[in-house]
Amino acid sequence: MNGWLFRQGLVGLMALILITLIPSGLPEPVTAQTGTVGFASAVPCLNNDISMAATCFADTIYAPVQANDPALVRVTLGGAKQPLAPIGATVGGIHQRIAANSGIGSVYGLAYDDGATSGIRRLFAAAFTRRFTSYGPLGPGGVYEYRFNDGQWYGSFVVPDAGVDRPNSDRDDTAILSRVGTSSLGDMEISPDGETLYIMNLAAKRIERYDITQPAPRRLDPVPVPLHLISVNARFQVQLQPFALEFAPNPQSATGEMQLFVGITYTARPNGEPHAYVLAWSIKSNSWHLALNQPLVISVFNKRFAGSTYLDVLKKDKVE
Instruction: Tell me how far apart the alpha carbons of residues 72 and 112 are, in angstroms, rounded to a whole number.
Output: 13
Which has more confidence, 151 or 208? 208
pLDDT at 318: 42
Judge whether 264 lies within some domain.
no
Domain range enclosing 123: 18-224
Please name the residue ranges forming H helices in the chain. Answer: 234-238, 298-306, 310-319
C-beta of residue 158 within 8 angstroms of C-beta of residue 216: no
Judge whether 157 lies within some domain.
yes
Average per-residue pLDDT for the chain: 79
Angle (nearest 5°) at CA 246 between 242 and 252: 120
How many angstroms separate the Cα of 3 from the Cα of each of 17, 36, 202, 216, 275?
Answer: 6, 23, 18, 25, 20
The stretch 157-176 carries a mean pLDDT of: 86
pLDDT in tens, 70-99: 888 888 888 888 888 888 887 767 778 888
Instruction: Tell me how far apart the alpha carbons of residues 184 and 201 are, in angstroms, rounded to a whole number.
Output: 7
Work out the pLDDT band at 173, boundaries 50, 70, 90.
confident
Work out the pLDDT band at 110, boundaries 50, 70, 90.
very high
Instruction: Tell me how far apart the alpha carbons of residues 23 and 188 are, in angstroms, rounded to a whole number.
Output: 26
Q: Is the pLDDT of residue 56 over 90?
A: no
Q: Is the pLDDT of residue 11 over 90?
A: no
CATH value at residue 188? 2.40.10.500
Q: Is the pLDDT of residue 155 over 80?
A: yes
- The helix (run of H) or strand (run of E) holding residue 275 is strand 275-282
pLDDT at 269: 63
Judge whether 74 lies within some domain.
yes
Judge whether 121 lies within some domain.
yes
pLDDT at 131: 83
Identify the top-confidence range among 52-66, 109-123, 170-184.
109-123
Q: What global pTM score does this model have?
A: 0.78
pLDDT at 42: 44
pLDDT in tens, 273-292: 788 999 999 999 999 999 99
pLDDT at 2: 38
Instruction: Tell me how far apart the alpha carbons of residues 254 and 300 are, in angstroms, rounded to a whole number.
Output: 34
Q: Is the pLDDT of residue 161 over 90?
A: yes
The stretch 6-13 carries a mean pLDDT of: 31
pLDDT in tens, 179-213: 988 999 999 999 999 999 999 999 999 999 999 99
pLDDT at 233: 93
Judge whether 306 lies within some domain.
no
- Sheet of 275-282: strands edge to edge? 240-247, 259-266, 275-282, 287-295
Residue 304 is classified by DSSP as H
Question: How many helices (H) and strands (E) in the chain?
Answer: 3, 17
Compute how many other C-beta atoms are within 10 angstroms of the C-beta atom of residue 14.
18
Judge whether 296 lies within some domain.
no
Instruction: Tell me how far apart the alpha carbons of residues 203 and 186 are, in angstroms, rounded to a whole number.
Output: 10
Compute how many other C-beta atoms are within 10 angstroms of the C-beta atom of residue 290.
13
pLDDT at 62: 64
Which has more confidence, 271 or 275? 275
Which has more confidence, 119 or 25? 119
Judge whether 62 lies within some domain.
yes
Instruction: Tell me how far apart the alpha carbons of residues 231 and 281 are, in angstroms, rounded to a whole number.
Output: 17
pLDDT at 270: 60
Judge whether 253 lies within some domain.
no
Q: Considering its fold, how many domains does the chain have in total?
A: 1
Q: Is the pLDDT of residue 216 over 80?
A: yes
Q: Using alpha carbons, select from 175, 224, 229 the residue that is nearest to residue 201.
A: 224
Identify the top-confidence range among 8-22, 94-108, 214-228, 255-269.
214-228
Instruction: Tell me how far apart the alpha carbons of residues 30 and 85 are, in angstroms, rounded to a whole number.
Output: 9
Beta bridge partners of 127: 107
How many angstroms separate the Cα of 125 from the Cα of each of 53, 154, 180, 226?
Answer: 11, 10, 17, 26
pLDDT at 28: 39
- The residue type of 84 is L
